[in-house]
Structure 1
Amino acid sequence: MGKVTDVTHADLFDVLITVTNSQTGVSRQLRTDEYGKYAVEPLLPGNYTIKAEGEGLETYQVTGV
């Protein structure tokens, strides 16, 4: 489970979240709810990249998760 907010800590709705396994390239996509929250189904062990992007927003990416 995660949460997406802006710099003022306001919840961001309908942000596209992409979770990609760095070794296999397999990815899952989902969107945040009205509270900025998202939940990813259980993942296999490994290193992942998580990317958040939305209309009018700067894309944010974290690697090595």
Structure 2
Amino acid sequence: MTNSRLRSGELADAAGVNRQTLRHYERRGLLAAPERSPGGHRLYPAETERPRRPPLTGVAA
């Protein structure tokens, strides 16, 4: 097992979302709160399931 950590930007890029979306998912409980670096950066385990943006439904064109 690896002890590698991803910063929020790295996880966001891998998931195809932005950092604000990750924080929203965290606030809603869809993504577990990550550890923090000594400088306060979010550090997600490398094996974190990549969150995906839900499809938009009911949006008027």
TM-score, normalised to structure 1, is 0.25
Higher relative contact order (CA 8 A, sep 6+): 2
Q: Which structure has the highest helix share of the two? A: 2
Please say which structure displays the higher CA radius of gyration. 2
TM-score, normalised to structure 2, is 0.26
Q: Which structure has the highest strand share of the two? A: 1
